[in-house]
Amino acid sequence: MTQSFPTPAAHARDLLDTLGVPARPADAGQAVRSPIDGSILTHVAFDDAREIEAKVAAARRAFDAWRVVPAPRRGELVRLFGEELRAAKADLAALVTLEAGKIASEAAGEVQEMIDICDFAVGLSRQLHGLTIASERPGHAMRETWHPLGPVAVISAFNFPVAVWAWNACLALVCGDPVIWKPSEKTPLTALATHAILQRALARFGDAPEGLASVVQGGRDAGERLARDPRIPLVSATGSTRMGKALAPVVAERFGRSILELGGNNAMIVTPSADLSLALRAIVFSAAGTAGQRCTSLRRLIVHESLVDKVSDAVDTAFQRLPVGDPREGKTLLGPLIDRAAYEAFVAAMDAVRTEGGTVSGGERLLADQWPEAFYVRPALARLPAPAPCMQRETFAPLLHVVPYAEFDEAVAIQNDVPQGLSSCVMTNDVREAEAFLSAAGSDCGIANVNIGPSGAEIGGAFGGEKETGGGRESGSDSWKQYMRRQTATVNYSGALPLAQGVRFDL
Amino acid sequence: MTQSFPTPAAHARDLLDTLGVPARPADAGQAVRSPIDGSILTHVAFDDAREIEAKVAAARRAFDAWRVVPAPRRGELVRLFGEELRAAKADLAALVTLEAGKIASEAAGEVQEMIDICDFAVGLSRQLHGLTIASERPGHAMRETWHPLGPVAVISAFNFPVAVWAWNACLALVCGDPVIWKPSEKTPLTALATHAILQRALARFGDAPEGLASVVQGGRDAGERLARDPRIPLVSATGSTRMGKALAPVVAERFGRSILELGGNNAMIVTPSADLSLALRAIVFSAAGTAGQRCTSLRRLIVHESLVDKVSDAVDTAFQRLPVGDPREGKTLLGPLIDRAAYEAFVAAMDAVRTEGGTVSGGERLLADQWPEAFYVRPALARLPAPAPCMQRETFAPLLHVVPYAEFDEAVAIQNDVPQGLSSCVMTNDVREAEAFLSAAGSDCGIANVNIGPSGAEIGGAFGGEKETGGGRESGSDSWKQYMRRQTATVNYSGALPLAQGVRFDL
Amino acid sequence: MTQSFPTPAAHARDLLDTLGVPARPADAGQAVRSPIDGSILTHVAFDDAREIEAKVAAARRAFDAWRVVPAPRRGELVRLFGEELRAAKADLAALVTLEAGKIASEAAGEVQEMIDICDFAVGLSRQLHGLTIASERPGHAMRETWHPLGPVAVISAFNFPVAVWAWNACLALVCGDPVIWKPSEKTPLTALATHAILQRALARFGDAPEGLASVVQGGRDAGERLARDPRIPLVSATGSTRMGKALAPVVAERFGRSILELGGNNAMIVTPSADLSLALRAIVFSAAGTAGQRCTSLRRLIVHESLVDKVSDAVDTAFQRLPVGDPREGKTLLGPLIDRAAYEAFVAAMDAVRTEGGTVSGGERLLADQWPEAFYVRPALARLPAPAPCMQRETFAPLLHVVPYAEFDEAVAIQNDVPQGLSSCVMTNDVREAEAFLSAAGSDCGIANVNIGPSGAEIGGAFGGEKETGGGRESGSDSWKQYMRRQTATVNYSGALPLAQGVRFDL
Amino acid sequence: MTQSFPTPAAHARDLLDTLGVPARPADAGQAVRSPIDGSILTHVAFDDAREIEAKVAAARRAFDAWRVVPAPRRGELVRLFGEELRAAKADLAALVTLEAGKIASEAAGEVQEMIDICDFAVGLSRQLHGLTIASERPGHAMRETWHPLGPVAVISAFNFPVAVWAWNACLALVCGDPVIWKPSEKTPLTALATHAILQRALARFGDAPEGLASVVQGGRDAGERLARDPRIPLVSATGSTRMGKALAPVVAERFGRSILELGGNNAMIVTPSADLSLALRAIVFSAAGTAGQRCTSLRRLIVHESLVDKVSDAVDTAFQRLPVGDPREGKTLLGPLIDRAAYEAFVAAMDAVRTEGGTVSGGERLLADQWPEAFYVRPALARLPAPAPCMQRETFAPLLHVVPYAEFDEAVAIQNDVPQGLSSCVMTNDVREAEAFLSAAGSDCGIANVNIGPSGAEIGGAFGGEKETGGGRESGSDSWKQYMRRQTATVNYSGALPLAQGVRFDL
Q: Residue D495: what pLDDT? A: 86
| Chain-chain contact of B126 with C120 (C-beta, under 8 angstroms) | yes
User: Which chain C residue is nearest to residue D115, measuring alpha carbons?
Assistant: C501
Considering the domain architecture, whether residues B238 and B367 belong to the same structural domain is answered as no
Run of H or E residues at D122: helix D104-124
User: Which chain B residue is nearest to residue A251, measuring alpha carbons?
Assistant: B249
Considering the domain architecture, whether residues B233 and B278 belong to the same structural domain is answered as no
User: Which chain D residue is nearest to residue C259, measuring alpha carbons?
Assistant: D255
Q: Which of D311, D231, D323 lies closest to D279, judged by CA?
A: D311
With contacts defined as CB-CB under 8 Å, which chain B residues touch C432? 493-495
pLDDT bracket for residue C1 (50, 70, 90):
very low
Q: Which has more confidence, D502 or A67?
A: A67
Residue C247 CB contacts under 8 Å (≥ 6 apart), including other chains: C155, C223, C224, C227, C235, C237, C258, C260
Q: D444 and chain C: CB distance < 8 Å anywhere? A: yes
Considering the domain architecture, whether residues B346 and B379 belong to the same structural domain is answered as yes
pLDDT in tens, A367-423: 999 999 999 999 999 999 999 999 999 999 999 999 999 999 999 999 999 999 999
CATH code: domain of residue C298: 3.40.309.10
Active-site residue, from D261, D394, D468, D474: D261
Structural domain containing residue C325: 266-450
Considering the domain architecture, whether residues B23 and B143 belong to the same structural domain is answered as yes
With contacts defined as CB-CB under 8 Å, which chain C residues touch B141? 435, 438-439
Q: A55 and chain B: CB distance < 8 Å anywhere? A: no
Report the distance separating Cα D135 and Cα D118, nearest Å.
37
- In three-state form (DSSP H/G/I as H, E/B as E, the rest C), the secondary structure along D23-75 is CCCCCCCEEEECCCCCCEEEEECCCCHHHHHHHHHHHHHHHHHHCCCCHHHHH
Give contacts of A 233-272 with B, CB under 8 A: 244-245, 248-253, 255, 257-258, 260
CATH code: domain of residue C217: 3.40.605.10
Report the distance separating Cα A248 and Cα C163, nearest Å.
52
| Chain-chain contact of D440 with C68 (C-beta, under 8 angstroms) | yes
Whether C456 maps to a domain, the answer reads: no
Q: Confirm if C270 and C249 have CB atoms less than 8 A apart.
A: no
Q: Residue A3: what pLDDT? A: 67
Which candidate from B119, B439, B495 shows the least CB-CB separation from C122?
B119
Chain D interface test: which of C67, C243, C499 (most D C-beta within 10 Å): C499
Whether A382 maps to a domain, the answer reads: yes
Q: C147 and chain A: CB distance < 8 Å anywhere? A: no
Cα dihedral value C267, C268, C271, C273, nearest 10:
160
Q: Which of B39, B42, B44 lies closest to B29, judged by CA?
A: B44
pLDDT bracket for residue D3 (50, 70, 90):
low
The identity of residue C7, as a single letter, is: T
The identity of residue D232, as a single letter, is: I
Q: D211 and chain A: CB distance < 8 Å anywhere? A: no
pLDDT in tens, B231-258: 999 999 999 999 999 999 999 999 999 9
Q: What is the mean pLDDT of residues D347-376?
A: 97
With contacts defined as CB-CB under 8 Å, which chain D residues touch A80? none
Number of separate domains in chain C: 2
Considering the domain architecture, whether residues B192 and B339 belong to the same structural domain is answered as no
Residue A221 CB contacts under 8 Å (≥ 6 apart), including other chains: none
Which candidate from C70, C430, C432 shows the least CB-CB separation from A137?
C70
| Chain-chain contact of C493 with B435 (C-beta, under 8 angstroms) | yes
Concatenating the DSSP letter of every residue in D355-402 gives: HTT-EEEE--EESTTT-TTSBEE--EEEE-SS--GGGGS--SSSEEEE
With contacts defined as CB-CB under 8 Å, which chain C residues touch B439? 139, 141, 493
**Confidence check: pLDDT of A25 > 70:** no
Which candidate from C71, C135, C432 shows the least CB-CB separation from A134?
C71
Percent of chain D with pLDDT over 70: 99
Considering the domain architecture, whether residues A58 and A145 belong to the same structural domain is answered as yes
Degrees (nearest 5) of the Cα angle B227, B229, B234?
60
Considering the domain architecture, whether residues C189 and C239 belong to the same structural domain is answered as yes
Q: How many CB pairs under 8 A join B and C?
A: 71
ipTM of the complex: 0.96
Cα dihedral value A214, A216, A222, A228, nearest 10:
0
**Confidence check: pLDDT of D138 > 50:** yes
Helix axes of D71-100 and D104-124: crossing angle, nearest 10 degrees: 170
Considering the domain architecture, whether residues D272 and D286 belong to the same structural domain is answered as yes
Q: Confirm if A384 and A356 have CB atoms less than 8 A apart.
A: yes
pLDDT bracket for residue A1 (50, 70, 90):
very low
Question: For chain A, which chains pass the contact test of at least 3 CB pairs under 8 Å?
Answer: B, C, D
**Confidence check: pLDDT of D16 > 70:** yes
Looking at every residue in chain C, the average pLDDT score rounds to: 96
Residue A125's Cβ-side half-sphere holds a number of Cα atoms within 13 Å equal to: 32
Please tell me the least confidently modeled range out of A116-120, C29-33, D167-171.
Answer: C29-33
Q: C463 and chain D: CB distance < 8 Å anywhere? A: yes
Chain C interface test: which of D103, D235, D501, D506 (most C C-beta within 10 Å): D501
CA distances (Å), origin B344, targets B65, B185, B299, B340, C495: 48, 19, 17, 6, 49
Q: Residue C26: what pLDDT? A: 58
| Chain-chain contact of B458 with A258 (C-beta, under 8 angstroms) | no
Please tell me the least confidently modeled range out of A30-34, A378-382, D171-175.
Answer: A30-34
Whether D465 maps to a domain, the answer reads: no
Residues of A known to be catalytic: 261
CA distances (Å), origin D316, targets C507, D321, D337, D401, D425: 13, 9, 20, 12, 20
User: Which chain A residue is nearest to residue D496, measuring alpha carbons?
Assistant: A432
pLDDT in tens, C451-472: 999 998 899 999 999 999 999 9
Whether C2 maps to a domain, the answer reads: no
Whether A502 maps to a domain, the answer reads: no
Whether A118 maps to a domain, the answer reads: yes
Q: Confirm if D480 and D173 have CB atoms less than 8 A apart.
A: no
Q: Residue D2: what pLDDT? A: 55
Q: Could you say which DSSP state residue A456 is in?
A: -
Helices (H), D215-326: 220-228, 241-253, 276-288, 308-321
Model-level pTM greater than 0.90?
yes
Grouping H, G, I as helix, E, B as strand and the rest as coil, residue A68 is coil
With residues binned 3-state (H G I as helix, E B as strand, rest as coil), the percentages for chain B, rounded to 5, are: 40, 20, 40
Whether D290 maps to a domain, the answer reads: yes
Helices (H), B322-370: 340-355
With contacts defined as CB-CB under 8 Å, which chain D residues touch C486? 446, 462, 473, 477
Report the distance separating Cα D291 and Cα D107, nearest Å.
13
Chain D interface test: which of B128, B144, B271, B431 (most D C-beta within 10 Å): B431
With contacts defined as CB-CB under 8 Å, which chain B residues touch C434? 493
Q: Which of C432, C445, C31, C485 lies closest to C256, judged by CA?
A: C485
Residue D286 CB contacts under 8 Å (≥ 6 apart), including other chains: D266, D268, D294, D296, D297, D298, D453, D454, D455, D456
Grouping H, G, I as helix, E, B as strand and the rest as coil, residue B350 is helix
Q: How many CB pairs under 8 A join A and B?
A: 273
User: Which chain D residue is nearest to residue A475, measuring alpha carbons?
Assistant: D126
Q: C68 and chain A: CB distance < 8 Å anywhere? A: yes
Report the distance separating Cα D175 and Cα D78, nearest Å.
11
Q: How far is A124 from chain C (nearest CA, A)?
A: 10
pLDDT bracket for residue D1 (50, 70, 90):
very low
B83 classed as catalytic:
no
Give contacts of D 271-310 with C, CB under 8 A: 275, 278, 280-282, 284-285, 289
Q: How far is B123 from chain A (nearest CA, A)?
A: 15
Q: B495 and chain C: CB distance < 8 Å anywhere? A: yes
Considering the domain architecture, whether residues B292 and B159 belong to the same structural domain is answered as no
Which candidate from D127, D143, D430 shows the least CB-CB separation from B429?
D430
Report the distance separating Cα C156 and Cα C114, nearest Å.
14
Q: Residue D456: what pLDDT? A: 83
Whether B410 maps to a domain, the answer reads: yes
Go through chain B and tell me how many residues it has.
Answer: 507
Residues A230-243 as b/e (b if ≥16 CB within 10 A, e otherwise) read ebbbbbbbbbbbeb
Q: What is the mean pLDDT of residues A98-108?
A: 96
Q: A499 and chain C: CB distance < 8 Å anywhere? A: no
Looking at every residue in chain D, the average pLDDT score rounds to: 96
User: Could you tell me how far CA D228 lies from the centroid of its own chain?
Assistant: 22
pLDDT in tens, C401-460: 999 999 999 999 999 999 999 999 999 999 999 999 999 999 999 999 999 999 988 999
Which candidate from C112, C443, C501 shows the least CB-CB separation from D502?
C112
Report the distance separating Cα C174 and Cα A397, nearest Å.
58
Considering the domain architecture, whether residues B288 and B334 belong to the same structural domain is answered as yes
Q: Confirm if C361 and C70 have CB atoms less than 8 A apart.
A: no
Q: Within 10 Å of residue B331's Cβ, how many Cβ atoms?
A: 10
With contacts defined as CB-CB under 8 Å, which chain A residues touch B245? 253, 255
| Chain-chain contact of D488 with C448 (C-beta, under 8 angstroms) | yes
Report the distance separating Cα C399 and Cα C382, nearest Å.
7
Q: Residue D265: what pLDDT? A: 97
Considering the domain architecture, whether residues C153 and C74 belong to the same structural domain is answered as yes
- Residue B329 sits at φ, ψ, to 5 deg, of -75, 140
Q: Could you say which DSSP state residue A306 is in?
A: T
Which candidate from D106, D440, D491 shows the least CB-CB separation from C451?
D491
Report the distance separating Cα D146 and Cα D63, nearest Å.
15
Specify the pairing of strand B365-366 against strand B376-377.
Answer: antiparallel
Question: For chain D, which chains pass the contact test of at least 3 CB pairs under 8 Å?
Answer: A, B, C
Specify the pairing of strand B420-421 against strand B466-467.
Answer: antiparallel
Report the distance separating Cα A367 and Cα A343, nearest Å.
13
User: Which chain C residue is nearest to residue B494, measuring alpha carbons?
Assistant: C432
Q: How far is B82 from chain C (nearest CA, A)?
A: 11
Report the distance separating Cα C109 and Cα C119, nearest Å.
15
Q: Residue D4: what pLDDT? A: 82
Residues of chain B with pLDDT below 70 are 1-3, 25-27, 507
Q: Which of C246, A205, C141 lies closest to D431, judged by CA?
A: C141
User: Which chain D residue is nearest to residue C488, measuring alpha carbons?
Assistant: D447
Q: Residue C22: what pLDDT? A: 84
Considering the domain architecture, whether residues D147 and D191 belong to the same structural domain is answered as yes
